[in-house]
Amino acid sequence: MERLIYKILSPEADAQMRADGRLAPGGVDAADGFIHFSTAAQLSETLDKHYAGHGALVILAAASADLGDALRWEASRGGDLFPHLYAVFETAHVSARFALNATRDGLDGFLSGVAA
């Protein structure tokens, strides 16, 4: 599977995670019982489908190998396998952070830079 996976957060959720050292699951993560991630190839469609109209967002990169057996690859949108974390997502898991604006300036560079 993918070496790096990505979590999309609001700036408020990112601030909470930085302050607490772990993400407090909210919204769909809390409802589904796991933390939703996307691969680099899935990220744009996830942004379009679930975050259209949002202004600023934060993209966190995490190494899938660091998440252990609690990370499961499960079929979702169109049968594509998505990474789902059934454990606490801690700041120690974050390998890179990117502040995303509404026009997604720099996103491709971020994705290719952290994957290098």
Which pLDDT score, from 0 to 100, does residue 12 have?
94
Where are the extended beta strands (E) located within 38-110?
57-63, 71-75, 81-85, 94-100
Residue 116: pLDDT band with limits 50, 70, 90: very low
| Residue range(s) defining the domain that contains residue 24 | 4-115
| Residue 81 three-state SS | strand
57-115 pLDDT per residue, tens? 999 999 999 999 999 999 988 888 999 999 999 999 999 999 998 888 888 888 888 75
CB 93 within 8 A of CB 62: yes
Read off the pTM: 0.92
Query: In total, how many domains does the chain have?
Result: 1
What CATH number does residue 38 fall under?
3.20.170.20
Asked if 59 contacts 43 with a C-beta cutoff of 8 angstroms, the reply is yes
**Over the stretch 2-23, which tens digit does the pLDDT of each residue have?**
799 999 999 999 999 999 999 9
